Amino acid sequence: MDDILHGLNKAQREVVTSEASVLQVLAPPGSGKTKTLTSRVAYLIAFKHLKPWNIVTCTFTKKAANEMKERIRSFIGEELSKQIKLGTFHSIAGQYLRKYGQHIGLAKDFGVADTSDSKAIIKRIIKKHDLTSEAPKASGRISANKCKGIESAQFAQTAKNVDQQEFAVIFSEYEAELKASNLLDYDDLLLRCCFLMRTHPQCVSNVEAVLIDEFQDTNTVQYDLMSLFAQQRNMITIVGDPDQSIYGFRHAEIKNLKLMKDQWRDTLTINLEENYRSSGAILHAAQTVIEQDESRPPKKLQATHNYGLRPVLRKLPSAAAEAAWLVAEIKRMCALSGGVLQHSDFAILLRSAALSRVIEAALGRDGMPYRMVGGLKFFERVEVKLVVDYLRVINQPNHGEAVERIINLPPRRIGDATVKSLREEASKRDMSFWDLICGIAQGKTRSTTKLNAPAEKGLASFVNVILSGRRKLEVAEDEQISLVGLINLVAKKIDLQTYLKNKYENEYEAKWSNVEELMAQAADASDPERLKALMEEDTLPAVDDLDQRSTGNEDALSIFLANIALTATAETKTEEGTEPVPQVTISTIHSAKGLEWPVVFLPACYEGSIPHSRSDDNDEERRLLYVGMTRAQAMLYLSCPIKDTQKQETTMSSFLTQPGVQLYFEEHGPSMSLATAKGLATTLRREQPNLSGFNEGKQGLDRDEDNYWPLNGEEAPEERAKWDYGKAANPVAAFGASRPASWVPASAVTTQQQQGFSTASAMMSAGLGTVKDDFNAAYDDLLEKDRLKAIDKKRLEATKNSDTDVPKGRKRQIEGQGSISTFFAKRRPPSMKAESSGEHFTMPLATHTSRSDPLRDISNLDRRQLSDPLPSKPALAGLHKPRIAPLRRAPSSHAALPNKGYMFLSSSPQKPEDEENDPEPISEEPDPEDEVAQPQFKPASTFHTTSLQTLQQQPAARGRRYGVKPSINGWANRARK
């Protein structure tokens, strides 16, 4: 008893030991919801003597299910815990249907139609009838109806207007299609299971207790499912939090909470109120956001931690800058936390998965390890899906969807028209698609569809692949081919490697490694031990009066496939023997639910993103933000780019611009002192940092304050200088060389430079003033910006009040620390050294880190060079249009990119070996004042131009490489102004 109740507060104990039969637990974020629920399960088994296999526990995500399993195991041990019926609604429903499906006329071995299957079917129906509906909308509508328990026939009867009738057609044909292919979609799993339990209550007669996690996310069908599970004993415990209801789109009904109270009048409600996760400051901020919802009943939420650091609400110039800032902050926090924080302590949570691209690029550029959860799932990647579809068809050839998807992959000269004709013929003859083509290929069936010779050959080869796969399975069990063997067979038969190589060229390696990963997973799944465990887990307790379908002889393939559709994340296993590298997590807010991290970033907090433009429930969007914010333990960063990815101006999220909200936020990341680091450690209950670790971290940093970007969201001065005089001017110059050896010799450059210059002067006179003037103005501006941002916060606020007092423009005075000296490198940028010795100083520009900022190390330049005129941007920008190397998704797989027609940018923090041992600091670090006094310094010859041809001659260097899109926006923006 003590074990189970240990560490629980009063309210939690009350929940765990409650005698009430129906129990609602309202558990706000961080209140120990999962802990409480798992403790109750353990308690019921240990003290109420319930049998584990008579306890049903439903979660929404596989992740939550696994976590709960893990925790229960630590309470009651492996043996008991694995007997509990614990899983997602869908997986539990699936289990019941597999065992008892025959009683409701469900064929054995039904498949699960995933979203793309459903979408494909609907699309086809729409096309067939030449309807105007859109597939995704129709799909959502079908799901909405199903979730409410409305069936297609029922809908068709009530359909009145044209639109409804049209939809009724899609709906019923969709259902028919699924039935014909022996498929159930996600909703069907739940619906059919409800039907089963209603018509055959015996099958759940053993259930003694039902527990539901995240109850606020249940939809009507799931609610029914819960009631039906509990129909014998009415012993139910649910935990939930209306404030965290973020699945309205999946037709979750918050009102189920009330419904439940009405259905079971003696429902006991217990509120958990203490938050054990977040610092007070974070909690306050989150609270002000959620309290904007006036319809929401007020709720208490008590912090148990210290106040901690105030959350940050940061403005940045662009999505790219936001990403760069975020990376810089992670670095800074890591370095200055004195060892308290590492990469795995950071999470970046997004409203939509698509936002991750810029961020992944920034992380990749920096070489910071990360993992992306949510977004595209492993089993949804084309190459994986391809193989899985083959397996599906081999396992179950009547899976019409899968057959059609792969019949011409790799290309077999069987086009859409042929497929369509075949499909129609099949339905006319009332046979399955597979049976038809199989018959044709074997010459048994005479087809009315005329096939040309190549198509016929293609068809035969396809059928052959499938049949040979099936043959391997039909032999006696002990001779049966392994799952991996089967995948290999398929891969060989369809010559997958060649296909992938041809189709994806430079992505080939990544794609193939995914296939290998699939094999590894297959090997894992067909491991006899594991298989046994899986089968055991799949057992349902025998009940009187109702036969279970024997699944004893179910093969590894079926089990593997059945699990795929219901597996949320195929956890990429860490390589054996290697320490897992701490990784930053990128996730959607939705899939971050229930999780927590010491530091959380919520980027893209603008109108249209959160609240999302496609959402019609603002309150749900607000709750979503709330969920995101409350994932943070010690530090929370919100940020808003002034321009979104499409360079449209944004408005900050209305949830954050409500009066008073901003009082809870700082405008920039915290100054990190040893004391701050200690505070973090306290909040996180971690070991205190020591001074030496702190100092060490500080030394490795370029800057120790969040002061690179101005607080008002404007472009960083250094960045502007780069844009105006570097990157924008010359896309080809955006070639950063990390190894001088492979650099273009200066002589090769000269012609291009001169070319550029000559055009430049002509262009420049067209109304933009001289380059010189332009530069001076910008430079002054830049100094001013830097001065402003260097002033500490208080002063800034003081000046803000009398805003206009701050002279704009030409103030050269430098105050305080953090002044211009931050512009100059403490050490020579590596690539500069080799080049600056020659006749021409050719400094590669446009690495995005400040490491090679053109303004750095300015004192080191040959000053005669500096008086050269500047080339103009448009002149150079128009010269070449380099191809863009695709960004690689996972930084883990860096195949060498082709060495033709690509440009590379490489700014790896890991310097190449040859520079590694060159910490030689520049002796004459310039005195800031001095520099300012010499306005003739212009980064004119920090230009380096070269042609595409020259680049093509470069050998593809090794190392981390990212294609970089040259931007001429810098120029375009300026020109407009």
Partner DNA sequence: CTTCGAGTGCTTTTT
Partner DNA sequence: GCACTCGAAG
Q: According to the binding rule CB under 7 A, does residue 115 interact with DNA?
A: yes
Q: Which of 591, 650, 872, 947 binds DNA (CB under 7 A)?
A: 591
Listed in sequence order, the DSSP H helices in 110-263 are: 115-129, 135-147, 152-158, 162-180, 186-199, 220-229, 256-263
Among 354, 533, 691, 762, binds DNA (CB under 7 A): 354
Do strands 904-905 and 962-963 pair parallel, antiparallel, or not at all (unpaired)?
antiparallel
Sequence-ordered alpha helix ranges (H) in 616-770: 618-629, 654-657, 674-683, 691-699, 717-722, 746-764
CA distance 80 to 667: 51
Which parts of 568-587 interact with DNA (CB under 7 A)?
568
Report how far residue 594's alpha carbon sits from residue 8's, in angstroms, rounded to the nearest whole number: 18
Burial label, 718 (beta-carbon count in 10 A; 0-12, 13-18, 19+): buried
- Is 127 annotated as ligand-binding? no
Q: By CB under 7 A, tell whether 249 contacts DNA.
A: yes
From residue 649 to residue 688, what is the string marking binding to DNA with x (rule CB under 7 A)? Answer: ----------------------------------------
Distances (CA, A) of 166 to 8, 159, 161, 172, 174: 56, 9, 9, 10, 12
Is 682 annotated to bind a ligand? Reply is no
Strand ranges across the sheet with 346-350: 312-318, 632-643, 597-602, 346-350, 584-588, 370-372
State whether residue 687 is helix, strand or coil: coil
Helix (H), strand (E) at residue 557:
helix 556-566
641 is in an annotated binding site: no
Q: Fill in the per-residue mask, 734 to 753: x = in contact with DNA (CB under 7 A), - = not in contact.
A: --------------------
Site for DNA in 451-480 (CB under 7 A): 452, 455
Contact pick of 13, 71, 357, 501 for DNA (by CB under 7 A): 357
Count Cα neighbours of 233 within 13 Å in the Cβ-side half-sphere: 17
Output the smallest distance, CB 115 to DNA, in A.
Answer: 5
Binding part of the chain for DNA, among 206-214, 289-297, 883-891, 950-958 by CB under 7 A, reads: 883-891
CB of 120 to DNA, least distance (A): 9
What number of residues does the chain have? 977
Q: For residue 898, state whether it binds DNA (rule: CB under 7 A).
A: no
Query: Which member of 138, 168, 178, 246 binds DNA (CB under 7 A)?
Result: 246
Q: Is 886 in the site for DNA (CB under 7 A)?
A: yes
Q: Is 837 in the site for DNA (CB under 7 A)?
A: no
Q: Torsion angle of alpha carbons 495, 499, 501, 506, nearest 10°?
A: -150
Question: The tokens 């938050």 sit on which residue?
Answer: 275
Q: How far apart are CB 627 and DNA at their closest, in Å?
A: 11
- 513 annotated binding-site participant: no
Cα first-last separation, the chain: 72
Among residues 4, 45, 60, 405, which is the contact residue for DNA, using CB under 7 A?
Answer: 60
Residue 604: CB minimum distance to DNA, A: 12
Compute CA distances 622 → 235, 273, 604, 607, 654, whole Å: 33, 21, 14, 12, 9
Site membership for DNA, residue 965 (CB under 7 A): yes
Euclidean distance between CA atoms 208 and 51, whole angstroms: 8
- Indicate which single residue of 12, 39, 83, 88 sits in contact with DNA (rule: CB under 7 A): 88
Nearer to DNA, 50 or 190 (CB): 190
Closest distance of CB 619 from DNA, Å = 13
Tell me how far apart the alpha carbons of residues 793 and 258 are, in angstroms, rounded to a whole number. 49
Q: Is 199 annotated as a binding residue?
A: no
Residue from the set 33, 63, 840, 911 that interacts with DNA by CB under 7 A: 63
- Count of residues that bind DNA according to CB under 7 A: 48
* Helix, strand, coil percent values for the chain (each to nearest 5): 50, 10, 40
As a whole number of angstroms, the distance between CA 58 and CA 69 comes to 11
3-state helix/strand/coil string of 706-740: CCCCCCCCCCCHHHHHHHHHHHCCCHHHCCCCCCH
Stretch that binds DNA, among 325-333, 405-413, 766-774, 806-814 (CB under 7 A): 405-413
Residue 875 in contact with residue 758, Cβ under 8 Å? Answer: no
User: Interacting stretch for DNA, rule CB under 7 A, among 40-48, 84-92, 937-945, 951-959?
Assistant: 84-92
- Provide the token pair at 143: 């799901």
Give me the least distance between CB of 965 and DNA, in Å please.
Answer: 5
Q: Is 454 annotated as a binding residue?
A: no
State yes or no: 248 annotated in a binding site. Answer: no
Instruction: For the CB of residue 246, give the shortest distance to DNA in the complex, in Å.
Output: 7
31 is in an annotated binding site: yes
Question: x-or-dash pattern for DNA, window 165-204, by CB under 7 A?
Answer: ---------------------xx-----------------
Cβ 295 to DNA shortest distance, Å? 20
Show the binding pattern over residues 481-520: x = contacts DNA (CB under 7 A), - = does not. Answer: ----------------------------------------
Residues that bind DNA (CB under 7 A): 60-63, 88-91, 115, 186-187, 246-247, 249-250, 351-354, 357, 374-375, 408, 411-419, 421, 452, 455, 566, 568, 588, 590-591, 612, 614-615, 646, 884, 886-887, 965
Residue numbering of the annotated binding site for ATP: 27-34
User: Which residue ranges are tagged as binding site?
Assistant: 27-34
